[in-house]
Amino acid sequence: MNFLRTAAASPPAEDAVSSTPTLREAGRRARYWLIAGIGALLVAVVGTVLAAGGGTGGKPLEADSAAPAGARALVEVLRRQGVDVTTADTLAEARRLAGAAADPTVFFFDESGYLTDDQLSAMSALASRTVVASPDFLILQTLTPSVGFGGVSPATVSRAACTVEAAVKADKLSPGGPTLTIPADDAELTGCFPSGENAFALVGRVTADRTLTLIADGTLFSNERIGQAGHAALALNLLGADDELIWYLPTIADVPGTGSPSLGELTPGWVTPTLILLVLVALAAAVWRGRRFGPLVVENLPVTVRASETMEGRARLYARSNARLRALDALRVGAVQRLAGQVGLSRLASLDDVIAMVAAVTDRSPADVRAVLVDAVPTKDSELVGLSDRIQELERATARATTPLPPGRMDS
């Protein structure tokens, strides 16, 4: 009865309040994660829209693109002047168009570097006149090994200063932009629009049956810049010299097949940065929220708690919450189970059967037994202690009545 004494000695407190979280409290705790998830979803949607919107302009210098980087304006003017402009997306299509034309001009721009050196050599042999915009290192090494990169032009005014007819008619170009260098002793190469020592915006090479023109800055032909300086005159005279023009912009279809495309090749470009952003947001949220719980505490397990400590702890909790009836109910439940076993009833026997059998073996009235086991309600700590003593006394009386006496001994 130690824990009952402890409960009786503690001051009364208000009724205990349930600590089970309500639906509103659970929603309040999860509010941050809901807001974070919605925010991440909005960022992904906005990124998708922006990425999709940024891709509507098409490829640079695309013949039918009206975007600033496209070349639709130049192509439309060429067609009005009677030039038959046909587009090609692959080397095979460009070869077919060149074979069907009488004497075409080929305009070539490979921004992504799809063609190999062998394909570049085949491209340069398609027509007698070829114009290459923004050549990269592989193009220069394959078609004109002696031509190199000259950096950005520092000139404020870029005049033709050469005998190439198209450059002379253009007269001047916009200042700045990339340049190409040529050796001074190469008679086949001609530089136009000079900038610095042996650096030019246009380089031409004329052989017995081929004319190759390299434009260092292909953006001169774009919709955004075609109307500046002499860009239009240069483009029209270079590309409109013949009645047929093949506008060849290589695509990935020109890349030699090496098997099925990977998942990365099939995935749109905006997916990777969006996933990275979402991962970073999730990690930042985890670090931010995780710090609020403090450092981890190491606890050795298993922990063994003595029964007396558990009993005393429960007694203190009952005393603190002023739960006299709950403490008495715990005693009564255990007493009823023990009494049922003492009088030969099963643990599943009803309370009325237990009361009736205990009253019969102890010669007490069922009302008295029921008062001890069920009906009596303590209003003070002293009454709780008294009822606990009565329960113990009832158990001892039942045990004496149901325990057989040893041989040769008579009950007094």
Residue 214 sits in a domain of what CATH number?
3.40.50
Are residues 239 and 337 located together in one domain of the fold? no
Residue 96 in domain: yes
Residue 32: per-residue pLDDT: 78
The model's pTM: 0.53
* Domain extent for 89: 60-248
The answer to whether residue 121 sits within a structural domain is yes
Pair 354, 244 in one domain: no
Residue 212 and residue 121 share a domain: yes
**Which helix (H) or strand (E) segment is 288 a member of?**
helix 271-290
Contact call for residues 100 and 261 (beta carbons, < 8 A): no
The answer for residues whose C-beta is within 8 angstroms of residue 81's C-beta and 6 or more apart is: 236, 240
User: Which among 229, 248, 267 is the end of a domain?
Assistant: 248
Which segments in the chain show pLDDT lower than 50?
1-19, 53-56, 412
Q: Which of 248, 263, 289 is the last residue of a domain?
A: 248
Owner of token pair 């329960």: 391
Label the pairing between strands 105-108 and 129-133. Answer: parallel
Same domain, 334 and 222: no
State how many domains the chain has: 2
- Evaluated on CA atoms 110, 115, 120, 125, the torsion sign reads negative
Q: Is there a domain that residue 291 lies in? A: no
Name the nearest CA neighbour of 59 among 131, 120, 114: 114
Residue 26: the pLDDT is 66
Helices and strands, number each (H, E), in the chain: 16, 11
Q: Considering the chain, what percentage of its residues have pLDDT values greater than 70?
A: 82
Residue 267 contacts by C-beta under 8 Å, 6 or more apart in sequence?
none
Residue 345 is assigned to a structural domain of this protein: yes
What local confidence, expressed as pLDDT, does residue 23 receive? 61
pLDDT of residue 308: 65
Give domain status of residue 208, yes or no.
yes
Q: Are residues 92 and 196 in the same domain?
A: yes
pLDDT of residue 411: 53
For residue 172, the 8-state DSSP code is E
- Give the separation between CA 380 and CA 322, rounded to whole angstroms: 10
